[in-house]
Structure 1
Amino acid sequence: MFAPVTEEVDAAELEVTGEIPAALDGLYLRNGPNPRFTPIGSYLYPIDGDGMLHGVWLSEGRARYRNRFVRTPALEAEEWAGRALWGGLESMILPDAEQVGPELAGTFRELPDINVVRHGGRLLALAESDSPYRIGAGLETLGREDFEGALPAGITAHPKIDPVTGEMVVFCYGLEPPFLTWSVIGRDGTVTSGPTLVDGVDEPMMIHDMALTRRFAVLVLAPAFFDLDAAMAGGSFLAWRPERGTRVALIPRDGSPPRWAADEAFWTWHTVNAYDDGPGADAPVVLDYVQWSRLTVGSAPGAAQDPVSGGLTRAVIDPATGSMTRTLLDDARVEFPRIDDRLIGRRHRRTALATSTGRTDLLSGEYDAVRFHDLETGASHVWDAGDLSVGEPVFAPEPGTDSEESGYWLTFATDRTDGSSWFLVVPAEDPASGPVARARIPVRVPLGLHGCWLPTEGGQAAEE
């Protein structure tokens, strides 16, 4: 399910079962880790691996497909050599000048393989914490993006775009000071604020995602610390230190100092959404996210003896006192939560998540159903995908409407019996009924990671 593919494919007309809604006009695009060559030393999913973009263009009920590697200098150097030259993050194998030339010698490879976003006229393939790569309309790689030199250290893979102001709020963590910064990129793609230091962070930490409210950027700082000394000695480059607890930073978007809350240790890969629960300056912040009892990547000591648990969780944070109350909303095994992106930073009702029905033959990180949770009533509905393993669901709204139920959930899925991959369209008004359309993808799409729906804007999303 997760194994990479090496062929770049174009298909002008996909075979469709059912009927693709004519209202869907645009591009569904997903990025994910896909090693071009067999890794050496180590391979740490989901962070390691070359980026590969998979795109399905929809128009007038028809679909076409294209996939392309994100072409970094490291990928091109390995193609020239015909083999992998860099090791995975846990092996610390770096090529020398004889292998890759003086500019790349001794450097870590860039990994723009996590997510993809469109903002300010740019389509960007995003890395865990590094410069993104700009992508053309035909998924060709245009080069590294540093926002006219304003963000040389890059950004992380989960920026959040405010649907009201059009601003994209980003953060970046580093192995050296400054360990954590945040920035604002205006609607036109110009950096308007930052990078601004987040006071109170004096060690390198891994922070995968963020959330946004009208007042705050919200960052969850779980106790996952980078340990380069351990990595150089053959150990894990990430250390889970639960005795340190988890902190949540509420970073005022007006530039004033952060406000902090703290609790017992937990880990989160992905937030659902956040919002201010009221109009006042001291209104609580509501944060929905997928919670895990510990870090779920790497080879931290004791992990095998400490089974992981989690589920869909809500935290309510008082910015004035720093108190935080967490409530488990759904204890099902879930990941990759998404909402209608038009509600980012505002009160939402519905979320969709990849989930498991309890089949015992699934791999770690593999899901065989989509769970649709109503956060107002607490009810959940599940579409069991049967022999299909599904990815992250992405919402495509019905044009001209503003309802969370008027639209479709889009995702890739792969059949565990024969390895065939499909593009699925699930109606938001009755998601448990399953797809109204399935388009056969001519190449297997490896499971993971993140994607987006890019409706046609002036002909630019769906045309090359």
Structure 2
Amino acid sequence: MAAGSTGFDPTRVAHLGGRFAPVTREVDEAELRVEGELPAELDGVYLRNGPNPRFSPIGSYLFPIDGDGMVHGVWMSEGRARYRNRFVRTPAMRAEERAGRALWGGVESLITPGLDEVGPDLAHTLKDLPDINVVRHGGRLLALAESDSPFRLSPDLETLGKETFGGRLPAGITAHPKIDPRTGEMAVFCYGLEAPYLTWALLGPDGEVVRGPTPVAGAEVPVMIHDMALTARYLVIVLAPAYLDLAAAMRGGSFLDWRPEDGTRIALVPRDGGTVRWAHDSAFWVWHTVNAHDLPTGEVVLDYVQWPGPGLGPRPAGPGGAPRGLARAVLDPAAGTVRRELLDDARVEFPRVDDRMLAGPHRRIATAAGTGRTPDLLPGEFDGLRWYEVRDGEVSAQTWDANPLSVGEPVFAPVPGTTGADEGYWLTFATDRTDLSSQLLVLPGGDPAAGPVARVHIPVRVPLGLHGIWLPARE
């Protein structure tokens, strides 16, 4: 497909401007200005990955799917902080840097370069996009893509190359793997356009693949699946009716077709390799799960952020769709049933818990939130942070209004040697809507609604979205 055939104008794409606009400068700053007092017990690095086109996009641009990866890091120790950002340099990005311009189009245009532009290894291939998340497991620091191979990074964020785990996971993994803090095992899935449409795998604490790609029995069509949850017994994978259609995309149509009449299915995949259990319900969409855990009854509790549809493709959810907000589903593996409850109808996303609570019961949930007081927020943009306490079936919430900042996903950094949800700090990048400057906010776990105890000023703007992690210096 010719690059100029679509009439695409990147200046008219809202997610390529303002608070989302990409940055092209890679920066090292040894001493950051701190407003307030940076807690001395924070000793480690906060990393965040997100879509950041290296060159002006051609053909199409769809946030949050498209964009080159850029990882931003803030290293903290003894009350001081330093910063570094680096692109995740895939072979495609290096080819574009040699050319001085974009050669690949977005997923909606499927523009690919020819042999004369990039040579035989890259000609007419799809572009690697490790721009969603970042994780460390088994000694590997990985920039994660949407169901594709991650790229391994050095501790100082230089790109080391594509990671296929010794060739054991050649198709890649999810952008949201889950690490069981009790066993150290990492669970992953991968969806694709061809059979088997959905596979799962397990990696041991040392990063070695202990179960290779295993088809999920009953997943018989290609659908988009962004996230998963983990319990002590199951991988919990939500298959909403968002169908992938490459043929339609090749004809100039949409690669994603939302068909709510088909309903949503949830796969409970036993970690021991047993029979996959399915639960069925009316249609709802999940970008991100909160967490999941097993009940003594054999049921499974899944907390997640619910949407009436993905907001992508030609068939957005209409009136009567599932209500949005923080939700809970109780799944019965034996009966194949789902009981859903909306815990809060606020506009929230990017939910996180203390990662030490993953695969077990959790008490506190943090989210980015819309306060309703900022009229011009774009999809994926939030002007507040919201925390939930879940106790004995009761849910309470508190919000910190970030105005005039737009904030991202909150990540918990526990104080070393502690176990409580109050003993640590919530971290997130924020951008001031008045001057487009960025900060790292540090909020106390015991009283996060009181606001930041420290604001670390970042020397470049950090584009809004997507996911991050706190890595202590000593684990």
TM-score past 0.5 threshold: yes
For 1:387 and 1:47, the matched residues in 2 are separated by 27
* Deviation (angstroms), 1:233: 1.5
Of the candidates 240, 247, 258, which is equivalent to residue 222 of structure 1? 240
Distance 1:374 1:318 in 2: 25
State the secondary structure of the residue aligned to 2:356: helix
**Which of 233, 240, 249 pairs up with 2:267?**
249
Structure 2 counterparts to residues 49-448 of structure 1, below 5 A: 49-278=67-296, 283-297=298-312, 299-301=313-315, 309-358=323-372, 359-376=374-391, 377-448=394-465
**Contact kept? 2:431, 2:437, Cα under 8 Å:** yes
Q: Describe the shift of the 1:302–1:197 C-alpha distance in structure 2 as closer, same or farther (beyond 3 A).
A: closer
d(CA) in 2 for partners of 1:294 and 1:421? 31
Q: Distance in 2 between matches of 1:163 and 1:7?
A: 36
Change (3 A) 1:164 1:283: same
AA of the residue aligned to 2:194: E
For residue 462 of structure 1, what is the aligned residue in structure 2? Answer: none
Equivalent-residue separation in structure 2 for 1:8 and 1:346 (angstroms): 39
Contact 1:394 1:411 in 2 (8 A): yes
Deviates more, 1:57-66 or 1:197-206: 197-206
Q: Within 2, Cα distance between the matches of 1:99 and 1:308? A: 46
Q: Is the 8 A contact 1:296 1:308 kept in 2?
A: no
What code does the residue aligned with 2:258 have?
Answer: W
Residue identity opposite 1:354 in structure 2: A
Shift of 1:295: 1.6
Q: Per-residue displacement from partner, 1:223-275 (whole Å, max 9, x unpaired)? A: 00101121111111000011110000000111011000000000000000000
- AA of the residue aligned to 1:164: R
Q: Deviations over 1:73-118 (max 9, x none)?
A: 0100000000000000000111100111111001000000000000
Structure 1 CA distance, aligned partners of 2:320 and 2:276? 33
For the 8 Å contact 2:153–2:161, the answer to whether it is kept is yes
Task: Say if 2:308 and 2:322, in contact at 8 Å, map to a contact too.
Answer: yes
Counterpart AA for 2:365: T
**Cα deviation, residue 303, structure 1:** 5.4
Contact 2:258 2:316 in 1 (8 A): no
The separation in 2 between residues aligned to 1:434 and 1:235, in whole angstroms, is 45
Conserved in 2, the CA contact under 8 Å of 1:286 and 1:317? yes
On the 8 A contact 2:308/2:317 being kept in 1, the answer is no
| Post-superposition offset of 1:457 | 2.4
Mind listing any 5+ residue stretches in structure 2 that lack a counterpart? 1-18
SS in 2 for 1:77: helix
Structure 1 residue 319 displacement after superposition = 1.1
Pairwise CA distance, 1:186: 0.2
- Report Cα offsets for 1:317-371 as digits up to 9, x if no partner: 1111111100000000000000000010000010000001112121221100000
Instruction: Specify the alignment match of 1:41 in structure 2.
Output: 59
Cα offset, 1:405, TM superposition:
1.0
Superposed CA offset, 1:8-38 (max 9, x none): 0000000000001000000000000000001
Distance 1:302 1:275 in 2: 31
Partner of 2:12: none
Aligned-CA RMSD value? 1.2
Indicate how the Cα distance of structure 1 residues 302 and 311 shifts in structure 2: closer, same or farther if over 3 A, else same: closer
Quote the offset at 1:305 in angstroms.
7.9
Secondary structure in 1 matching 2:98 = helix
| Closer/same/farther in 2, CA of residues 307 and 329 from structure 1, 3 Å limit | closer
Amino acid at match of 1:76: R
1:135 counterpart letter in structure 2: L
Deviations 1:298-322 (A, max 9, x none): x323558888840000000111111
**How many residue pairs are counted as aligned between the two chains?**
454
Q: Partners in 2 of 1:173 and 1:413 — Cα distance?
A: 32
Aligned to 1:12: 30
| C-alpha separation in 1, matches of 2:416 and 2:178 | 22
CA contact 1:28–1:454 (8 Å) conserved in 2? yes
Which amino acid is the alignment partner of residue 431 of structure 2?
T
- In 2: Cα distance, 1:302 partner to 1:148 partner: 40
Unpaired stretches in structure 1, ≥5 consecutive residues: 459-464
**Is the 1:290–1:312 contact (alpha carbons within 8 Å) kept by the matching residues of 2?**
yes
Q: How far apart in 1 are the matches of 2:246 and 2:151?
A: 26
Q: Tell me the SS of whatever aligns to 1:257.
A: coil
CA distance in 1, matches of 2:449, 2:121: 52
**Equivalent residue letter for 1:382:** T
Q: Which runs of 4+ in 1 moved over 3 A?
A: 301-309
Q: Do the aligned partners of 1:30 and 1:449 also contact (CA within 8 Å) in 2? A: yes
CA distance in 2, matches of 1:158, 1:301: 26
C-alpha separation in 1, matches of 2:405 and 2:345:
22
Contact 1:134 1:142 in 2 (8 A): yes
What SS does structure 2 have at the residue aligned with 1:217?
strand
- Residues 1:166 and 1:361: Cα distance change in structure 2 (over 3 Å): same
**Aligned-partner SS, 2:366:** strand
